Structure 1
Amino acid sequence: MYGILDRYVGKNIVLSVILVSVCLTLFAGLINLIDALRYIGRGDIDFGFVLIYVCYRLPIVFVQFFPVSILIGGVIGLGMMARNSEIIILQSIGLSKLNIGISCVKSLIPVIMVVIAVSEMAVPKLDKHAEDEYYRRASASTGVSVTSSGAWIKEGNMFIGICAMINRKTIAGVAKYEYEGTKLKSFSRAATGNYIDNQWVMNDVVEQVINEDGVTYNKYKTQVWPLSVNLERIEILNEISDKLSVVQLHDYINYIEQNGVDSSRYRLSFYNKLLSPIIMLVMLLLALSTIFGPLRSMNMGTRILSGIALGFGYYVLNQIVAPFSIVYGVPPILGATFATVVFLGLAIYLLKRKS
């Protein structure tokens, strides 16, 4: 139940968080617009399309920046209240640090639910529409069709399906259909493929050749496939996990696992999406620590810089630990939760510590 004080505290926090979110989104959108200008000239892509393309992607940028916005917006909102002695007044009438924190959480939970709903329902559709339109316009130069289950490439009389991209030079779950007119001539499946010396070398290939006498099976340890598609044309597979909702990502993981492909990197993204509400609450605790912890005697500018530093520190730690968890075979759930647990412990420590 929301009381008068809950609404007052919540209003300051929510307004600050939304304002910071909008500013960060617009700033990132401007950077994305400048970066997307390099696509002009690919197929039918012009400046007008680039502008629309970036606008379609603004919601996903908003969602990505929202946890940091909670941290910085919380620092600003609570900092303004502390500077005006409103925090002291609230404590003098009987509200504890816990009560103020609960008021902040209760006010932000509806906003967090809306952001998650946008992330799960609106963002994938908008992003898919933007990407579909981009690839339709750029198809003359890329020759790649991207779906939620991977990518398809047409090479002469062959169709190549790529399930996933393990790293920048390794693809997995590759299938090749070779036709003669409208008749299927052969079907090949490779466990992985490596881009070596400007050509694709496939590993553990199983080939089925269809002829009048039946089907002939051949196996190859390695086989070079004459594909003209280069790394730049399929690099979008690296970002497929960011474009899917939790449900779609779960289905995609099941799909690639059924095809014998390692799903660790996609499970990492799946767990990150599941943990996003907890991450947002941890960011709020960090913001509270700047008011009630050892930073409460510092000025507003220092607090904001501290909030930005904490947010940047979380991002860096998460970006370092996550790839290491994949490289060294650590369960993806540990890689996804490590940074969150560390900063949760830091927030609790700062809240308990006195200046």
Structure 2
Amino acid sequence: MTTVLGRYIMRQVLIGTALAVVLLVALDAVFALIDELRDTGRGNYGLTEALLYVALTLPRRMYDMLPPAALLGGLLWLGNLAANSELTAMRAAGMTLGRFIGWVMQAGLVVVVVMVVVGEFFAPAAESRAQNLKASAFDEQLSVSPIGLWARDGQRMVQADAVLPGNRLIGVRIIEVDANREPREITRAQSAQYEDGAWRLQGVERSRLSLERVEAERPEEEVIERLIAPEYFDVLVVEPSQMAAQNLARYIDYLQENRLDSAPYEVAFWQRLTLPASTFVMLLLAIPFLFGSQREGGAGRRLFIGIAIGVSFAIVMRAMTHLGLVYNLPPVVAASLPVVLFLIFALVALQRMGRQT
């Protein structure tokens, strides 16, 4: 069972992480709102819609910020214990380094559970609502829902299972109706790619309906000029990093079955699995700075260290994502290598600190 001292350490980690995540998310939201203000005035998208859009993206921002927030929270709040010589007193009273790390990791487990719940349940649903809000404000004929995209263009309705980066739609259905709103032609396509000013449909099946008969044809490929305005893709596209792991798994299966490029989604899937583990790594990285030179530099030094490590981790994570896609590295390697590298760094630093203390 966790002792009173253990609960005290865990509480400091959790309080520090909570305050750090509020600060980081607030800063990120302010910059996001400034960016959204550029889109105000398009259709019915005004300041109120921009504020609501940013508010709906807060769970996703919280998910992204939890690992660096754990690092900053651990450095600052546990650093206060070190600066006040509380950690020295704890060590003198018999607290071992291993026990201290165990308490910190228990607090990290709480953070990871919160992170997984937010990232897999709250963030994707809120992100979908934000996306639909913005799309509908830009054009009332557009609608994004869990069952895909719906758009209307005169006598034509377009439905797609998903909107992918690179101006691509998958699972496309085009329904054309007559003046009486009766369907007269239904076109299905496995995918649609916008390039060179036109839409290229792949795996096409078309049915023409009339009172007398149904005519079917299956051209392998077809090019049409109008489908969905490409300028809406910045609003409609769902980035792989914003999707839940279960949705990523379904999209990967769909893309592989239809021989489409699934590499970005595979990397994002493995990042979903490895990113929570980075919270433990960030907390491990904070510990060596608590016991070494405890009173040098104060909170400002610890804040600088936390920001430097967090930014370095984000840069390495992004770089490995791009390098993995360019050099066709296994997705699990591209996603997990940054976490493994920082874990090795943390273990080496802990080992050196253990020898010194």
- Structure 2 length-normalised TM: 0.85
Residue 285 of structure 1 deviates from its aligned partner by 0.8
Q: State the partner residue of 1:86.
A: 86
Moved more, 344-353 or 228-237: 228-237
Q: Aligned equivalents of 2:256 and 2:159: distance in 1?
A: 16
| Pair 41,249 (structure 1): closer, same or farther in 2 beyond 3 Å | same
Q: State the partner residue of 1:137.
A: 137
SS class of match (2:232): helix
Residue 131 of structure 1 deviates from its aligned partner by 2.9
What are the superposed Cα offsets for residues 87-126 of structure 1, whole Å, 9 maximum, x if unpaired?
Answer: 2111112222221111112233224323322333333333
Letter of the structure 2 residue corresponding to residue 299 of structure 1? G
Q: State the partner residue of 1:152.
A: 150
What's the C-alpha RMSD, in Å, of the aligned pairs? 2.8
| Pair 84,176 (structure 1): closer, same or farther in 2 beyond 3 Å | same
SS class of match (1:42): coil
Q: State the partner residue of 2:14.
A: 14
**Is the CA contact 2:120–2:244 (under 8 Å) kept in the aligned structure 1?**
yes
Question: Where does 1:204-223 land on structure 2 (aligned, <5 Å)?
Answer: 204-210=202-208, 215-220=215-220, 223=222
Q: State the partner residue of 2:301.
A: 302
**Is the CA contact 1:144–1:234 (under 8 Å) kept in the aligned structure 2?**
no
Q: Aligned equivalents of 1:352 and 1:314: distance in 2?
A: 21
| Pair 239,210 (structure 1): closer, same or farther in 2 beyond 3 Å | closer
Q: State the partner residue of 1:351.
A: 350
Letter of the structure 2 residue corresponding to residue 93 of structure 1? A
Q: State the partner residue of 1:51.
A: 51
**Is the CA contact 1:149–1:252 (under 8 Å) kept in the aligned structure 2?**
no
Residue 173 of structure 1 deviates from its aligned partner by 4.9
Question: Where does 1:41-190 land on structure 2 (aligned, <5 Å)?
Answer: 41-140=41-140, 143-148=141-146, 150-164=148-162, 167-180=165-178, 181-189=181-189
**Is the CA contact 1:28–1:61 (under 8 Å) kept in the aligned structure 2?**
yes
**Is the CA contact 1:150–1:162 (under 8 Å) kept in the aligned structure 2?**
yes
| Pair 146,190 (structure 1): closer, same or farther in 2 beyond 3 Å | same
Q: Aligned equivalents of 1:156 and 1:332: distance in 2?
A: 43
SS class of match (1:154): strand
**Is the CA contact 2:171–2:191 (under 8 Å) kept in the aligned structure 1?**
yes
**Is the CA contact 2:108–2:283 (under 8 Å) kept in the aligned structure 1?**
no
Residue 166 of structure 1 deviates from its aligned partner by 5.3
| Pair 305,166 (structure 1): closer, same or farther in 2 beyond 3 Å | same
Matched, 1:267 2:249: no
Letter of the structure 1 residue corresponding to residue 249 of structure 2? H
**Is the CA contact 2:172–2:189 (under 8 Å) kept in the aligned structure 1?**
yes
Residue 247 of structure 1 deviates from its aligned partner by 3.0
Letter of the structure 1 residue corresponding to residue 96 of structure 2? S
Q: State the partner residue of 1:234.
A: 233
Q: Aligned equivalents of 1:177 and 1:208: distance in 2?
A: 10
Unaligned stretches of 5+ residues in structure 2? none
What are the superposed Cα offsets for residues 280-311 of structure 1, whole Å, 9 maximum, x if unpaired?
Answer: 11111111132246x75742322321221111
Residue 228 of structure 1 deviates from its aligned partner by 5.9
- Structure 1 length-normalised TM: 0.86
Moved more, 279-288 or 327-336: 327-336
| Pair 201,127 (structure 1): closer, same or farther in 2 beyond 3 Å | closer
**Is the CA contact 1:174–1:189 (under 8 Å) kept in the aligned structure 2?**
yes
**Is the CA contact 1:199–1:225 (under 8 Å) kept in the aligned structure 2?**
yes
| Pair 239,296 (structure 1): closer, same or farther in 2 beyond 3 Å | farther
Q: Aligned equivalents of 1:244 and 1:323: distance in 2?
A: 18
**Is the CA contact 1:152–1:161 (under 8 Å) kept in the aligned structure 2?**
yes
Q: Aligned equivalents of 1:350 and 1:201: distance in 2?
A: 54
**Is the CA contact 2:172–2:191 (under 8 Å) kept in the aligned structure 1?**
yes
SS class of match (2:226): coil
SS class of match (2:261): coil
What are the superposed Cα offsets for residues 120-150 of structure 1, whole Å, 9 maximum, x if unpaired?
Answer: 333333333333333333324xx43323354
**Is the CA contact 1:10–1:103 (under 8 Å) kept in the aligned structure 2?**
yes
Q: Aligned equivalents of 1:167 and 1:177: distance in 2?
A: 24
| Pair 122,242 (structure 1): closer, same or farther in 2 beyond 3 Å | same
| Pair 289,176 (structure 1): closer, same or farther in 2 beyond 3 Å | farther
| Pair 328,192 (structure 1): closer, same or farther in 2 beyond 3 Å | farther
Residue 169 of structure 1 deviates from its aligned partner by 4.4
Residue 340 of structure 1 deviates from its aligned partner by 0.7
| Pair 98,36 (structure 1): closer, same or farther in 2 beyond 3 Å | same
Letter of the structure 2 residue corresponding to residue 40 of structure 1? T
**Is the CA contact 1:185–1:209 (under 8 Å) kept in the aligned structure 2?**
yes
Matched, 1:36 2:36: yes
Q: Aligned equivalents of 1:28 and 1:308: distance in 2?
A: 14
Unaligned stretches of 5+ residues in structure 1? none
Letter of the structure 2 residue corresponding to residue 36 of structure 1? E
**Is the CA contact 1:178–1:186 (under 8 Å) kept in the aligned structure 2?**
yes
Letter of the structure 2 residue corresponding to residue 4 of structure 1? V
Q: State the partner residue of 1:2.
A: 2
**Is the CA contact 1:144–1:233 (under 8 Å) kept in the aligned structure 2?**
no
